[in-house]
Structures are given as C-alpha cells and as structure tokens.
C-alpha cells in the first residue's frame, strides 16, 4: 500500500510537506518531501521487523526472561512449541494491524498536503484511532484469556 502511495503521490506533493498536525488538523511540523517518505518507510519497516522477528526470537531466549502469565505451565516443554506458535501468529496479526494503521494515517497526511490549507481530516483520523484502539484492546484480551488460565489449551 505505501509503495503505491509513494509512487503515485511523491511527484504530486510540494517540496516541503506537513508531517505533524495539531489537534485542529493544521500542519505544525514540516519536512522535505524526501525526508517525509524516508521517515515513513523507515517507521513501517522497523515496526514490521519488530513484529516479525520478536516472536521468533522468543525461541532462543531463556524461559526465565519471558514475561507471560502462568509461564511455568505454558512454557513447559510439552506446551512450549504450541504457545510460541500462538504468540507468533498473534504478533504477526498485531503487526499487520499496526502497519495498516500507520499506512492509513500516512495516507491522511499525504492527502492533507494536497489541499491549500494543509489540514488533516480529523474525523477520519479519530475513526482510525478508535478502530485501532478497539482492535488492540481485543488483541490484549485474547492474549490474556489464552494464557491466564492454565487449565485450558486452545
């Protein structure tokens, strides 16, 4: 998605773009078009890497360093592989949600720079934020429910 945004919008944006917006939606932080896209790509790639590699790294970390409810039960040798696979899948989904949210917010920022007053669509931003926060809360509840009770395995 961001690749298509970059290809399509880069030549259409002014040389200096708003990259930070105040509560009223007006741009109050500026950067060159190049810096904006470099920063946006860096953020998206770093976040993607964190959500992809962190759960895989758990396989190499001593169990004593993993913070998980009822970890003695869930990370016992007979359940460790299934528990880590579950964490990998969940972290990947959280990564997809986070990268998607950021890509959509970047799209709003790009669109704001295409209008004369450089105003962010606050209604759209708040809607995206609420959806992301609700989804994140659901994700946390799902993780907690999965690992809170050591008597049920899903």
Question: What are the pLDDT tens digits along the chain (154 aa)?
Answer: 778 888 999 999 999 999 999 999 999 999 999 999 999 999 999 999 999 999 889 889 898 898 888 889 999 999 999 999 999 999 999 999 999 999 999 999 999 999 998 999 999 999 999 999 999 999 999 999 999 876 555 4
pTM of the model: 0.87
Q: Domain count of the chain?
A: 1
CB 33 within 8 A of CB 65: no
Which tokens is 61 given?
């970390």
Residue 38 maps to a domain:
yes
Residue 131 maps to a domain:
yes
Residue 153 maps to a domain:
no
What pLDDT, on the 0 to 100 scale, is given for residue 56?
A: 86
Q: Domain containing 103: what range?
A: 2-148
> How far apart, in Å, are the Cα atoms of 66 and each of 49, 55, 91, 132, 151?
19, 11, 15, 26, 20
Residue 19 maps to a domain:
yes
Residue 124 maps to a domain:
yes
> How far apart, in Å, are the Cα atoms of 55 and each of 12, 84, 88, 101, 106?
39, 7, 5, 21, 26
Handedness of CA 49, 141, 63, 79 (dihedral sign): negative
Residue 87 maps to a domain:
yes
Residue 25 maps to a domain:
yes
What pLDDT, on the 0 to 100 scale, is given for residue 115?
A: 92
């Amino acid at each position: 998605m961001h690749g298509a945004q970059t290809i399509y919008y880069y030549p259409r944006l002014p040389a200096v773009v708003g990259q930070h917006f105040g509560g009223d939606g007006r741009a109050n932080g500026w950067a060159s078009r190049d810096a904006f896209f470099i920063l946006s790509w860096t953020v998206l790639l770093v976040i993607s890497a964190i959500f992809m590699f962190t759960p895989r790294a758990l396989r190499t970390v001593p169990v004593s360093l993993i913070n998980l409810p009822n970890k003695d039960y869930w990370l016992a040798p007979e359940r460790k592989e299934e528990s880590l696979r579950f964490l990998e899948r969940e972290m990947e989904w959280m990564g997809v949600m986070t990268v998607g949210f950021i890509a959509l917010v970047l799209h709003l920022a790009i669109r704001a720079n295409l209008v004369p007053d450089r105003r962010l669509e606050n209604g759209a931003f708040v809607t995206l934020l609420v959806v992301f926060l609700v989804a994140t809360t659901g994700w946390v509840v799902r993780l907690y429910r999965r690992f809170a009770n050591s008597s049920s395995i899903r």
